[in-house]
Structure 1
Amino acid sequence: MSDTLSHVADSHADATVAVAGTKAKPWLGPLVMLLRVVLCLVFGLPLVFLIVSSFKPDNEIFAALGTINAFLPVGSLSLDNYSGVIDRVPFATFMMNSVLISVVTVALGLLVNSMAAFALSRMEFRGQKLILGVILATLIVPFETMALPLLWWVNQLPYFDGSIGWLDTYEVQIIPFVANAFSIYLFYQYFDSIPKELDEAAKVDGAGWFRIYRSIVMPLSGPAIATVAILTFLPAWNSYLWPLMVTQSEAIRPVMVGMDYFKQMTGSTGTAWGQIMAYASMITVPVLALFIAFQRAFINSIASSGVKG
């Protein structure tokens, strides 16, 4: 009983010290709130300006610059900018291409990178650490230095119909980005934290490596899977340089390259800023809505992966 009372007394003392520390700095709470408001304004106002301007004609966009009206839905609001985008370029095709490329890249990336990390973290073979080191060394090489050699290489590969070269195809926008060193490292760190005694128990029951990967390791790696999926989707969705180099036809262009094509289409009649805002809104709002819907899962996955790693 005395031990229990002592424990309660110590807990009460700790709580008292914490409360006293908070009361000693009454300005801390309002300062944190002010900082949050400032950060919200810094990151949120440009997005508000983008969406609001997409409903305004060009003359009102420039007239409202420097005033609060630039961020308010006032004036001659209409959907003309959005209809102008759809009339000028095949926006629906660009959007579907980006969705297809991003989703397939994420799906294949999760499979390939997780299997590579599983082999490096759970199996034991000669040169294991050396292979991991070489994979991690590729992280210091910027993609721009590899773009031209990679372009030459994919142009020499045989295609499914017997022709040579992958240019102007979906495959050339997906396959080079399936394997990713950072994704392998994230999976490796997480897999390495899972007790290997589970593997031994599964082997006793007759399970092979693939069964251990599929039935034990992957079901326990939800946070790592979510983290890798998000970090793979965003670069695939925002990819611009590589698709610009390897695509020529409208039928397979993603939305980012489509925006550059759209700006060229409007160049002869002057820059249509309202339509550019509309185009940017249509490719930003879906991703933003997706992030807001899965915000808690995104934060938890990053935090859990950091703790596990």
Structure 2
Amino acid sequence: MSVKHLKTLGWYLILMGIGYVFLFPLLFMLFSSLKPEQAIFADLYSIRAILPVGELSLDNYRNVFEKSNVSLYFLNSLFITGGTVILGLFVNSLLAFTLSRMAWSGQKVVLSVVIALMIIPLEAIVVPLLLLASKLPSIGWEQGMFVLKSSWLNTLHVQMLPFVANSFFIFLFYQFFRDIPKDFDEAAELDGATPFQVYRHILVPMSGPVFATVAILHFLLMWNQYIWPIMAVQGEDARPLMPGIQIFFGRQSSWGEIMAYASLVTLPVLAVFLMFQKKFVTSLAGAGIKG
């Protein structure tokens, strides 16, 4: 075997080792969710911990649905995350379009503000945001009729609307749109296209990779929300999955049931990434070439 082949084999072994480190927790979580608690601890220090061996069943998943309102939590998380991602793709990309493709007074100042907002963490504004949400009235549905509520707290939209616009995602769209030649815009404007038509019919079809990237990142951000839902939601009706796992953990559940709950939280994230992974990789590769 030549030196070149040995180096290639060495790199493959290193990459396999790194992949094992990342896959081990996922495999352990998934297969432990199918085992009784005694089998989990019996297999803990052997290769059996990450293999589908032994007495496997869906009893842990069945117990999760019986002991908690996980189906409602799942639907709430799906609605909150899906709605925020869809609105965010439109709002953030449209803001980036105005910053990168149109000329207007104060454009550079607004762009500077957007970049500056990227360094402010949620923890720094969560208390003022909570006070604001507690004062905003909203319309709710109770007992078959619409009622006016005195605040946004304990609602689904309080978990969505504050996170639709995101400075980091606006900047991602801005960077991608800026590298698309403006000749397309000028040709469309000569044909009588409005700015929104240029955005809708030219930039959006050409920007699939960045849309996929933002969709994945925004999905992860919203699906994993924990601090804000705990502060803004106290009732069961609007509670998402992530805060629900803390309540479920406090009910003296077995480790197999906890792993089953964690699997229900993790699998949708993997599914979304697999759906958009090609465009996601394309976007990262394109960013590396441009950089």
User: TM-score surpassing 0.5?
Assistant: yes
For the aligned residues, what is the CA RMSD?
A: 1.8
Q: State the distance in 2 between where 1:77 and 1:149 align.
A: 48
In the alignment, what sits opposite 1:98?
Answer: 77
Say if 2:95 is the partner of 1:119: no
CA gap of 1:124–1:239, structure 2 versus 1, over 3 A, is: same
Q: Is the counterpart of residue 171 in structure 1 residue 153 in structure 2? A: no
- Identify the match of residue 22 of structure 2 among 28, 43, 53: 43
Q: 3-state SS of the aligned residue for 1:155?
A: helix
Aligned equivalents of 1:73, 1:33: Cα separation in 2: 25
Shift of 1:241: 0.9
The answer (yes or no) to whether the contact 2:138–2:152 under 8 Å persists in 1 is yes
Corresponding residue for residue 218 of structure 2: 232
CA distance in 1, matches of 2:274, 2:172: 24
**Higher Cα radius of gyration:** 1
Shift of 1:42: 0.4
Match of residue 135, structure 1, among 98, 114, 132: 114
Shift of 1:101: 0.8
- Segments of 5+ residues of structure 2 without an aligned counterpart are 140-146
Whether 2:273 is the aligned partner of 1:287: answer no
The answer as to 2:61 corresponding to 1:82 is yes
Which 5+ residue runs of structure 1 have no aligned equivalent?
Answer: 1-22
1:276 aligns to 2:289 (yes or no)? no
* C-alpha displacement of 1:200: 2.1
Alpha-carbon distance in 2 for matches of 1:294, 1:90: 30
Deviations 1:199-253 (A, max 9, x none): 2222222222111111222222111111111111111111111111111221211
Partner letter of residue 261 of structure 1?
I
Q: Equivalents in 2 of 1:117, 1:73: separation in Å? A: 47
How far off its partner does 1:284 sit?
Answer: 1.4
Contact 2:158/2:232 (8 A) holds in 1: yes
What is the deviation of 1:301? 2.8
Determine the C-alpha separation between the residues in 1 that align with 2:278 and 2:125: 36
Shift of 1:293: 4.2
Per-residue Cα deviation, 1:150-184 (whole angstroms, up to 9, x for no partner): 11111111213433210011110000000000110
Distance change >3 Å, CA 305–CA 104, structure 1 → 2 = farther
SS at match of 1:223: helix
240-249 or 67-76: bigger deviation: 67-76
Determine helix, strand or coil for the equivalent of 1:162. Answer: strand
Task: Kindly state the Cα deviation for residue 24 of structure 1 after the two structures are TM-superposed.
Answer: 5.4
Matches within 5 A, 1:160-199: 160=139, 161-199=147-185
Q: Could you say what secondary structure the match of 2:112 adopts?
A: helix
TM-score by length of 1: 0.86
> Matched residue of 2:173: which SS?
helix
Q: Which residue of structure 1 lines up, in the alignment, with residue 11 of structure 2?
A: 32
Q: Deviations over 1:67-116 (max 9, x none)?
A: 22222223332222111101101111111111111111111001110111
Query: What letter corresponds to residue 208 of structure 1 in structure 2?
Result: T
Q: Is the contact made by 1:227 and 1:305 (CA closer than 8 Å) also made in structure 2?
A: no
